[in-house]
């Protein structure tokens, strides 16, 4: 069953057409990878899924996006972003303790019971495969963590409010190979709990972590399919040329 449906989505930044009539579905508890060369519209599509593009000046959008059958443009945007969380390319921990980074969204949502906060913070850090590394220093600054730990902390922060979908915009591109492997393992474990849409420039990463892959080129959705099928036997010539390294 589809968690998110995108129908005929077009996005313009001023006079630049970033997306042309994109339609696709994101299925529940899957990892969908968005691939394609720089400037093809991957991040624009990702940001459209929780209305982040609205924060940019001069953006115009048409088409429809639904979450569990409800149009997201009719939702309260705060509620939408609670249900559809976001992890950015570079980790962005707050200048607060590790505990308060994870608890932040819960406090904003009105949760102040300390016992429940403690439980939810531990739950989220455990889901993000970080609890064992930080459980004895929860009051230390999050800025003292390594880059890979900071990114997992940001994932824990997103998970704390129990979203249905997590959007990831190149979450491992700034990390070393060991930290990247941690993030990839984490993505595989998380899909039991949430639906994940990930933008990546790394086709090997897409092949490792995703169930399905969507290939975009010059703002158009060229092909979508099971990841191994799309990489090994693509239907469209442009997909075949891209995954074989002829351009990109």
Q: What pLDDT shows up at residue 1?
A: 64
Q: What pLDDT shows up at residue 195?
A: 97
With 0-12 / 13-18 / 19 or more C-beta atoms within 10 angstroms meaning exposed / middle / buried, residue 3 is buried
Q: What pLDDT shows up at residue 90?
A: 86
Q: What pLDDT shows up at residue 118?
A: 97
Beta-bridge partners for 68: none
Q: What pLDDT shows up at residue 161?
A: 94
With 0-12 / 13-18 / 19 or more C-beta atoms within 10 angstroms meaning exposed / middle / buried, residue 246 is exposed
Whole-structure pTM value? 0.94
Q: What pLDDT shows up at residue 248?
A: 65
Interval 224-241: pLDDT, tens: 999 999 999 999 999 999
Q: What pLDDT shows up at residue 174?
A: 84
Q: What pLDDT shows up at residue 245?
A: 87
Phi-psi region of 145 (alpha: psi -120 to 50; beta: other; left: phi over 0): beta
The closest of 186, 239, 193, 245 to 213, measured between CA atoms, is 239
Q: What percent of the chain has pLDDT over 90?
A: 88
* Residue stretches of the chain with pLDDT short of 70: 1, 248
Q: Locate tokens 């850090």: which residue? A: 125
CA dihedral 23, 67, 101, 144 (to 10 degrees): -20
């Amino acid at each position: 069953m589809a968690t998110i449906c995108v129908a005929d989505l077009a996005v313009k930044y001023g006079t630049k057409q970033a997306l042309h009539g994109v339609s696709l579905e994101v299925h529940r508890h899957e990892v969908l990878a968005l691939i394609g060369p720089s400037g093809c519209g991957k991040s624009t599509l990702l940001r459209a899924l929780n209305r982040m593009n609205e924060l940019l000046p001069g953006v115009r959008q048409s088409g429809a996006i639904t979450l569990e059958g409800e149009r997201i443009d009719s939702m309260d945007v705060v509620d939408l972003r609670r249900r559809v969380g976001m992890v950015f390319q570079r980790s962005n921990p707050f200048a607060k303790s590790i505990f308060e980074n994870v608890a932040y969204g819960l406090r904003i949502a009105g949760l102040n019971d300390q016992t429940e906060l403690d439980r939810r913070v531990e739950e989220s850090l455990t889901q993000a495969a970080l609890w064992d590394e930080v459980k004895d220093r929860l009051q230390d600054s999050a800025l003292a963590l390594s880059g890979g730990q900071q990114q997992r902390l940001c994932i824990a922060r997103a998970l704390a409010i129990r979203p249905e979908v997590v959007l990831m915009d190149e979450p491992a591109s700034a990390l070393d190979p060991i930290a990247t492997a941690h993030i990839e393992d984490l993505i595989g474990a998380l899909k039991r709990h949430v639906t994940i849409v990930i933008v990546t420039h790394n086709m090997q990463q897409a092949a490792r972590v995703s169930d399905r892959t969507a290939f975009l080129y010059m703002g158009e959705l060229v092909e979508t399919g099971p990841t191994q099928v799309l990489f090994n036997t693509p239907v469209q010539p442009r997909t075949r040329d891209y995954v074989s390294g002829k351009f990109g």
